[in-house]
């Protein structure tokens, strides 16, 4: 008998969690089902409810086994050079969103901002680069509100 693997369950839970945060902020999530480096986009609206030009694109990584470094209070995640090339050339904000399925919490990293501040990391990159996501970077409606005018 066919079974639904845990990886599919936590992926669905991750989308469910971030969509709720996006809706609570007054914005909309558009999910991409054909994944070519992005899992979706957040379509933005002003505080008065008017649609805004632009969007925030994201890549969602859902896991039961989040890698946390308590001494730095960060989560780590390895990104491929091919994905980074795409994301860093984007004119829109691109977020890496890390969903912790065990705690039902999500954390974000603004990739363009991160690599503007840590450009030295790109010079020594091979096929992968490790990024550090501060635990304080919770993906919440309040965070999404910063994109609204």
User: What are the pLDDT digits (tens) for 86-109?
Assistant: 999 999 999 999 999 999 999 999
30 neighbors 58 (Cβ within 8 angstroms): no
Residue 66 CA to residue 63 CA, distance in Å, equals 6
Binned at pLDDT 50, 70 and 90, residue 149 comes out as: low
Q: What is the DSSP string of 96-142?
A: EEEEETTTTEEEEEEHHHHHHHTTHHHHT-SSEEEEEEETT-B--HH
User: What are the pLDDT digits (tens) for 36-95?
Assistant: 889 999 999 988 889 988 899 999 999 999 999 999 999 999 999 889 989 999 999 999
Separation of first and last alpha carbons in the chain = 51
């Amino acid at each position: 008998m066919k079974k639904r693997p845990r990886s599919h369950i936590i992926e669905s839970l991750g989308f469910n969690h971030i969509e709720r945060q996006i809706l609570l902020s007054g914005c909309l999530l558009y999910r991409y089902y054909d994944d070519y480096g992005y899992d979706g986009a957040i379509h933005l609206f002003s505080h008065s409810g008017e649609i805004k030009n632009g969007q925030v694109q994201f890549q969602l990584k859902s896991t039961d086994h989040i890698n946390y470094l308590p001494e730095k209070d960060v989560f780590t995640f390895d990104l491929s050079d091919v994905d980074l090339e795409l994301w860093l050339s984007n004119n829109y904000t691109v977020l890496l969103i890390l969903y912790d399925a065990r705690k039902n919490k999500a954390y974000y990293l603004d990739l363009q901002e991160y690599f503007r501040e840590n450009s030295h990391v790109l010079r020594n990159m091979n096929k992968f680069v490790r990024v550090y996501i501060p635990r304080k970077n919770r993906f919440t409606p309040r965070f999404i509100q910063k994109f609204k005018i």
